[in-house]
Structure 1
Amino acid sequence: MKENLTISEMAKLRGMTTETLRHYDRIVLFKPQYVDPYSGYRYYSIFQYEILGTIKELRQIGMSTDEIKQYFDQRNFKKSLDILKAKHSELLSKLNELAELEENIREKIVYLSEVSREEELHEVRFREMKSRKLITLHEKINSNLELCYGVIRLESMLTEKAPILASNRLGIIIEEADLRANRCEEPSVIFVVAKNKAKIQKQHLKIIPAGLFACIRYNGELLRNRSESLYKLFEYLQETGYRITGSALQIMQVDITITDNPNEIMFEIQVPVQKNSKPLPVR
């Protein structure tokens, strides 16, 4: 064992690179105990191990070199404790953000795995759905250009991490009056389905009541290619004795964030319905 170490020896001892130690020397964070004036070789004392070990640990918890300099400047118990508390709070905030991001990604993986093996296109299915809150600008979209700007504005209102990517939350509202009049290509209002914990300003909130929905899926564009599916759904409802009870939702199931293949882009139209009452028997 020896007291004085070369830069290579100190770097190896503490699991660092020699360039890291040179950098710390240049920014006056951790300087060698002695520099040979003739050769320029740096020599460190083994008794400097504690300082270098502290620097390494503080870097591992995310402190910048400037923050570490502040940490070492006139150190005392209270100052060190306060700095560590502040860094701990910062790490907790990052952990919460990562946890939210992980939850969103996990939900997207589950959803995409399910949608890949669900029902065939152009088939009408009935599903009971819970009440949903929509975030909407209450503005009708007339073109794909307006759609792009509308999506950006809606995304700016969300505080979630990666909120819309690969999820069945973005869509448009097809008004009940248009459904009843078979106006399938009318301009529609864009929306995002809100998560339960989301805080929504009243002017941007629309609530979709729970109930029975007739659903049909198809490939195509958001503002086009839906007429055929809607007409098929209308015909099926008439044949099976159901009536429309409100505005429909057209929700994107697989979008351009997932695939470049237009044949894989998928939408689902969800129409609230109710079974027609049976007529009273004639006496």
Structure 2
Amino acid sequence: MNEHFSIGETAKLNNISIQTLRYYDKLGIFKPDYTDPGNGYRYYHISQFFYLDIIKYLKSIQTPLEEIKRIILNTPQDMWNFLQQQEAVIENEFKKMQDAKCILEKKKRQLNEQLEICGKERGEVYFRSIKEEKILMMPTPSLTPFNGRPGLYVRKLANVLEDKGCIIDNQYGYIFNLKPYKDTDINYEYIYTSVSEESLNIEEPMTIGTITSGDYVCIAFDSSENNNDYNHYYQKLYHYIVSNHIQIDGKVYEVSLPTNYSSLKEETFLIELRAKRIDQ
């Protein structure tokens, strides 16, 4: 029985390319049993296939070739230590993929919601059913709808999520009290973004909160540099709630939804103001 095989036969028997076998030989990871000095042909012994399987396994768990070279030259204990470390890496990557899937699903829901809002008549009050959402909140004592961009607050929220190994949701909102404001008196209490985990170890002044599910009375309008436009739509929502004797939980939730995704285009947003109706 022939126990030596050419490089082509070895490649075919082991479902691997000839180029890969040559590269492994060059790196010193997997060498032929002997090379014919006359013609330079490589021949592999059947007993070597076992070691090739080990290399293929290590590659399948994303082990770099230089690391493979080191591992196969060491002891079974070294192999066990490496596999334990690799298991932790894979579990961490698996968690990241799960988080990414959650964010993807959430983003699809947000886009469906955005399309629903886009279908509403601008500047007219309407009702929508909104699902529960866990949020990361940060106080914003000096931020209003009229005094500039919330960039630094947004970055702080994003940095906390990155530090915790969470994937960032790039949709942000604001919370303030439902009151009969005059002109530009509105002050945001919090800026927030959604999170997929409730058990994050968050330090003050940030907190984890909940936007509860239920029916919300809403108004949507396009963003504008004109302060009077924002105030006009807020007042319209407020007076609708008061004149129709609608019981509200006392908060207004503002969500800004981008209508383009490129910094090369003009920045435009669709704003929705929401207030939760309480069942009487």
TM-score (norm: length of structure 1): 0.75
The superposition leaves residues 138-171 of structure 1 with CA deviations (integer Å, 9 ceiling, x where unpaired) of 2534323xx3333222211113543313x5xx12
CA distance in 1, matches of 2:113, 2:275: 21
CA shift, 1:105, in A, is 1.0
Q: Find the counterpart in structure 1 of residue 23 from structure 2.
A: 23
The CA RMSD measured in Å over matched residues stands at 3.7
* Alpha-carbon distance, 1:184 to partner: 4.3
1:268 shift after superposition: 1.4
Q: Is the 8 A contact 1:246 1:273 kept in 2?
A: no
Conservation of the 8 A alpha-carbon contact between 2:4 and 2:44 = yes
Once residues 124 and 262 of structure 2 are traced to their aligned partners in structure 1, the CA distance between those partners, rounded to angstroms, is 23
Aligned with 2:220: secondary structure? Answer: strand
| Equivalent runs, 1:119-198 vs 2, <5 Å | 120-121=120-121, 122-126=123-127, 133-141=135-143, 142-144=147-149, 147-158=150-161, 159=164, 161-165=166-170, 167=171, 170-174=172-176, 179-184=179-184, 188=188, 191-195=191-195, 196-198=198-200
Q: Equivalent residue for 1:280?
A: none
State the Cα deviation string for residues 172-213 of structure 1 (Å, max 9, x = none).
Answer: 34455xx52333485646612343333322212385786875
Residue 86 of structure 1 corresponds to: 85
* Counterpart Cα distance in 2 of 1:219 and 1:83: 55
Distance 1:261 1:238, change over 3 A: farther
Task: Provide the residue aligned with 1:5 in structure 2.
Answer: 5
State how 1:1-283 maps to structure 2 within 5 Å.
Answer: 2-76=2-76, 78-117=77-116, 120-121=120-121, 122-126=123-127, 133-141=135-143, 142-144=147-149, 147-158=150-161, 159=164, 161-165=166-170, 167=171, 170-174=172-176, 179-184=179-184, 188=188, 191-195=191-195, 196-205=198-207, 213-220=216-223, 225-242=229-246, 246-254=250-258, 256-257=260-261, 265-271=269-275
Offset from partner CA, 1:107-161 (integer Å, 9 cap, x none): 22233234423561433235687696542152534323xx333322221111354
Identity %, equivalent residues: 22
Aligned residues: 268
Distance of 1:233 and 1:221 partners within structure 2: 17
Structure 1's unaligned 5+ residue stretches are: 278-283
Distance 1:126 1:132, change over 3 A: farther
Instruction: State the alpha-carbon separation in 2 of the partners of residues 149 and 49 from structure 1.
Output: 58
- SS for the counterpart of 1:150 is helix
Query: Unaligned regions of 5+ residues in structure 2, if any?
Result: none
Q: TM-score with structure 2 length normalisation?
A: 0.76
- Give, in angstroms, the shift of residue 248 of structure 1: 2.5
8 Å contact from structure 1 (residues 184, 230) kept in 2: no
Give the whole-Å Cα distance in 2 for the aligned partners of 1:185 and 1:116: 31
| Counterparts in 2 of 1:134 and 1:223: CA distance versus 1, 3 Å | farther
Query: Structure 1: how far apart are the matches of 2:124 and 2:201?
Result: 36
Q: 2:236 & 2:133 partners in 1: Cα distance?
A: 26
Question: Secondary structure at the residue paired with 2:253?
Answer: strand
